[in-house]
Structure formats: structure tokens, C-alpha cells
């Protein structure tokens, strides 16, 4: 089987894997060079099967830079996706909202990002067989898929937006002054993942669709509450069915769907 779509399931979002008619499921520990996930709520399996009639490979559990991995380790699975034949990468994550109109539980389809993580997975000698030295980032997030996702959300009465994701190192959450800064520089949502994988996916010429599930509201400052990882997971799990609906809708579209 050649998966056409690679899916990365973020914090609290592993249940989507249950919708996959699974042919094979492989523990990360059995795959050469694959790191092993250390974070709560990340299952640590690569799942091959069909979702909405499309052959997919899904990572239940991703790797974060804050866990101590190098950026090359964090993004190794994206290189594996490419080698397997994947054309489209779908990423999901939990994120804080720095936009007063975006509430906990809402979905945000990422239309652009601001990367302030301290390292870049493309740093170092470039292997031209994998992609160009200076990959362009103008068309990073697939516009057609964002429009389709917004349309699907509307049909299913799901509160959804398109927005700018700001990537931070973590693992601490941010101070009020930091959230305010992020809001001012144009972030709608903030989180600790996704952008390294996006950079590598674009470097290797794959299309990208990414969705944040808002777990906590960080703006205006009066609305910030203390947030634990359990709060994040609980809120994301409440919205998980919305992500499942949108992803399945994107793949299973009547028009032969996600391919251009």
C-alpha cells in the first residue's frame, strides 16, 4: 500500500486513529531511527490504513523539541512520509488563543505561521535529493484545503477560523506579557509543535494542511487562567470529534477531493 496522506495527531487527538480501517500498526520502538514519544496522551504508533476511502499513514503521537530531541529527530517521520509516497501532510495540535474572538474549543485552520523556535530542522548541510537549500514559504499552507475546511465546519456547525500559528520552544506556557507580545505581532494561536514538521514537509515538496484545537484562551489578559496539561487534554478531547469530521470531509470529498 502507498499512503497518499500522512497525518500527525497532536496532544489529545489520538482518537482519530480509531476511524482508520487499520491494516498495520507499528510501535515507534520497532522502526529504525524513530524516536520514542515521552509525552502523556501520545500513543507512539504508526498506523497504516484507509480513512474516508483514502490510504493514509498516521502518527498517533508526535515528537516535540522540548522533549530534548534534535529538530532532525522531531521531523524524521515527515521524511519517512515522503519516502512512503505521501503527497499531503495533515497536522493537528493543541494551542492557546491570542485572538479575543477565538474561544477554547474552536478550530483554527492554520493559514500562516511565525516561527520563533530556537532551532531549524533544515539547518546544516542540505541534501539536494530531499529538497532545495532555501525553500520558499509563500504558499506553505494549502489555500484550497483551508477553504474546504471552513466550508465543512460551517456545514457541521463547528466554530472555526483561519489564523496565524506562532511556534515556541516550550515547555513552559507563556507569561501574560508574552501572550500580549504574541497578540501584537500577529499570532492568533500559539503552541510548541507543528512548524518544524511543516518546514520539512514543504522542503520535500508535500502539501500541508494544519489545524489547531484551542485548549485555552490567552487574550485578553483578564481571561487567562492557570492551565495544566490535563486541562489542555480535556479541552482538546471535547473538540476531537470536530477535527475528525473536518479531516474525513477533506479526504472523502465528492470531487475526488484533496488532489488538485
Residue nearest ligand HPA by beta-carbon distance: 96
Q: Which residues contact 146 (CB under 8 A, 6 or more apart)?
A: 109, 111, 162, 209
Closer to ligand HPA by CB, 204 or 216: give it.
216
In the complex, minimum distance from the CB of residue 13 to ligand HPA, in angstroms, rounded to a whole number: 12
In the complex, minimum distance from the CB of residue 58 to ligand HPA, in angstroms, rounded to a whole number: 21
Q: Residue 65: is it exposed, middle or buried by C-beta count within 10 angstroms (0-12/13-18/19+)? A: buried
Cell of 143: 489555500
Residue with cell 500559528: 165
Closer to ligand HPA by CB, 140 or 183: give it.
183
The reply on whether position 196 binds ligand HPA by CB under 6 A is no
Q: Measured between alpha carbons, how far is 171 from 180 in angstroms, rounded to an integer?
A: 18
Closer to ligand HPA by CB, 11 or 204: give it.
11
Provide the mask over 88-117, with x wherever binding to ligand HPA is found by CB under 6 A and - wherever it is not. Answer: ------xxx---------------------
In the complex, minimum distance from the CB of residue 166 to ligand HPA, in angstroms, rounded to a whole number: 9
Cell of 127: 541534501
Q: Measured between alpha carbons, how far is 146 from 148 in angstroms, rounded to an integer?
A: 5
Q: Which residues here bind ligand HPA, judged by CB under 6 A?
A: 94-96, 168, 173-174, 190-192, 215-216, 218, 232
Amino acid at each position: 500500500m502507498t499512503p497518499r496522506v500522512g497525518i500527525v495527531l497532536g496532544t489529545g487527538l489520538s482518537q482519530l486513529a480509531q476511524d482508520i480501517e487499520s491494516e498495520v500498526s507499528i510501535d515507534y520502538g520497532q522502526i529504525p531511527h524513530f524516536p520514542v514519544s515521552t509525552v502523556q496522551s501520545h500513543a507512539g504508533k504508526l498506523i497504516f490504513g484507509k480513512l474516508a476511502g483514502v490510504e493514509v499513514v498516521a502518527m498517533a503521537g508526535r515528537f516535540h523539541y522540548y522533549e530534548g530531541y534534535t529538530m532532525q529527530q522531531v521531523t524524521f517521520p515527515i521524511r519517512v512520509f515522503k519516502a512512503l509516497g505521501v503527497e499531503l501532510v495533515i497536522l493537528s495540535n493543541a494551542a492557546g488563543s491570542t485572538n479575543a474572538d477565538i474561544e477554547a474549543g474552536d478550530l483554527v485552520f492554520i493559514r500562516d505561521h511565525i516561527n520563533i523556535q530556537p532551532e531549524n530542522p533544515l539547518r546544516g548541510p542540505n541534501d539536494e535529493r530531499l529538497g532545495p537549500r532555501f525553500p520558499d514559504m509563500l504558499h506553505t499552507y494549502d489555500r484550497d484545503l483551508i477553504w474546504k475546511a471552513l466550508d465543512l465546519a460551517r456545514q457541521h456547525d463547528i466554530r472555526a477560523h483561519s489564523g496565524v500559528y506562532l511556534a515556541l520552544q516550550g515547555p513552559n506556557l507563556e507569561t501574560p506579557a508574552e501572550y500580549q507580545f504574541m497578540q501584537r505581532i500577529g499570532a492568533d494561536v500559539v503552541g510548541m509543535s507543528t512548524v518544524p514538521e511543516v518546514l520539512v514537509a514543504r522542503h520535500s515538496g508535500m502539501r500541508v494542511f494544519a489545524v489547531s484545537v484551542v485548549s485555552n484562551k490567552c487574550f485578553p489578559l483578564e481571561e487567562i487562567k492557570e492551565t495544566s496539561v490535563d486541562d489542555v487534554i480535556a479541552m482538546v478531547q471535547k473538540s476531537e470529534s470536530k477535527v475528525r469530521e473536518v479531516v474525513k470531509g477533506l479526504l472523502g470529498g465528492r470531487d475526488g477531493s484533496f488532489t488538485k
